[in-house]
Amino acid sequence: MRVLFAGTPAVAVPSLDALIAAGFDVVAVLTRPDAPIGRKRVLTPSPVAVRAAELGLEVIHATRVDDAVTARIAAVRPDVAAIVAYGGLVPRAALDIPPHGWINLHFSLLPAWRGAAPVQRAVIAGDDITGAVTFLLEEGLDTGPVIGTLTESVRPDDTSGALLERLSHSGAVLLAQTLSAVESGSASPRPQQGEVSLAPKLAIDDGRIDWSAPALSVGRRARGVTPEPGAWTTLDGQRLKLEPVRLRPEAAAQVPGKVALDGKSVLVGTGSHPVELTRVQPAGKKMMSAADWARGQASLESVVFE
């Protein structure tokens, strides 16, 4: 079966590899154009583009699927298209090209967390179980009928990055199995059932910690926004980046945002019990242990995160 693969970030690479390993004829790869990366803003190809080049596959770079891109897709005559975090909408003209449609691998149990940040939103919300589905792509936002499903436990210390890494590999297997079922004619798409929730892309402000929230909520948010866009707070008007915190339910309550030492541990008050800082990054400096940062403060008595 001739497959067009569409994807951009590193989490899509295992799916491309899985389709190749399963023996599918990947006739072209659709990915977003090179993007500026790092402080020097060096134009860098997407992880999927890099892997496609290593595999010797034709690459179609496109920010959006316009008429010209649609024509290029039609020219490679795919039987089916597989899409994993491509990062752009697919218009009806392109959806209609493959006879078997577009199969989307989405990292949630739809209809929960439709949108660009399903894993991050699941961690922030405190979901115990998440997963991935394959579904037939429609013009609506993640609304198509589901073909395959897998579930995954959210571990207490999971960041969104760690959870997404696991799902990228198990989801790749699911995608290959789904395309095999489509090819054999045994796939049976079924309408989505359950409560709909939305997972819009995270902005920088989503990473700001609200110290008046309960500690459990603070911990979930810090893990949910790691690695992107990252957790942060402010001190004296300057942004301080944070790695995920540890819950310290046995510690005595203190004023939300107030920083204090407990032996070698650096604690911060929340709306319930304190949390322990692990690593922090002051503005203009490298990430460091919270203990090293605390030793650099003249006094912690007056340190209150805003």
Q: Are residues 102 and 227 in the same domain?
A: no
Indicate which CATH number applies to the domain containing 94: 3.40.50.170
Last residue of a domain, one of 184, 216, 235: 184
Radius of gyration of the chain (CA): 22
286 and 138 within one domain:
no
pLDDT tens per residue, range 85-132: 999 999 999 999 999 999 999 999 999 999 999 999 999 999 999 999
pLDDT at 39 over 80: no
Same domain, 30 and 156: yes
Average pLDDT (134-147) is 96
Q: Is residue 80 part of a domain?
A: yes
Question: Are residue 137 and residue 245 in the same domain, yes or no?
Answer: no
Residue 76 tokens read as 């490679």
The pLDDT score that the predictor gives to residue 189 is 97
Q: Which among 156, 184, 212 is the end of a domain?
A: 184
Identify whether residues 173 and 278 lie together within a single domain.
no
Q: Say if 195 falls within a structural domain.
A: no
Is the model's pTM score more than 0.85? yes
Pair (35, 180) in one structural domain: yes
**Last residue of a domain, which of 129, 155, 184?**
184
6: containing domain: 2-184
Q: Let me know: does 116 contact 200? Beta carbons within 8 Å.
A: yes
Q: Is residue 280 scored above 90 in pLDDT? A: yes
| Domain-located, residue 196 | no
Q: For 190, how many CA atoms within 13 A lie in the half-sphere containing its CB?
A: 9
18 and 103 part of one domain: yes
Q: Are residues 157 and 268 in the same domain?
A: no
What integer is the mean pLDDT of 257-277? 94
Q: What is the pLDDT of residue 41?
A: 82
147 lies in the same domain as 237: no
Give the percent of the chain with pLDDT over 70. Answer: 100
CATH number at residue 264: 3.10.25.10
Residue 94 is assigned to a structural domain of this protein:
yes
In this structure, the answer to whether residues 131 and 250 fall within a common structural domain is: no
Q: Using one digit for the tens of pLDDT, what is the confidence trace for 226-235? A: 999 999 999 9
Tokens of 146: 């589901």
Mean pLDDT score, 59-88: 97
The answer to whether residue 212 is domain-embedded is yes
Residue 297 has pLDDT above 90, yes or no: no
Whether residue 105 sits in one domain with residue 16: yes
Structure tokens at 79: 């039987």
Query: Is 261 strand, coil or helix?
Result: strand
Number of domains in the chain: 2
233 in the same domain as 114: no
Q: For residue 304, tell me if it sits in a domain.
A: no
* Residue 38 pLDDT exceeds 90: no
* 303 within a domain of the structure (yes/no): no
The Cβ-side half-sphere exposure at 33, using a 13 Å CA radius, reads 8
CA–CA dist 128, 300 (Å, integer): 36
Instruction: Give pLDDT, residue 299.
Output: 77
Q: How many CA atoms lie within 13 A of 126 on its CB side?
A: 7
Confidence (pLDDT) at 10: 97
d(CA 159, CA 248) in angstroms, rounded, equals 18
For 185, counting Cβ atoms within 10 Å of its Cβ (0-12 exposed, 13-18 middle, 19+ buried), the class is: exposed
**Contact criterion met (CB below 8 Å) for 1 and 24:** yes
pLDDT, mean over the chain: 96
In a domain, 231, yes or no: yes
Distant-in-sequence, close-in-space partners of 288: CB < 8 Å, separation ≥ 6: 279, 280, 281
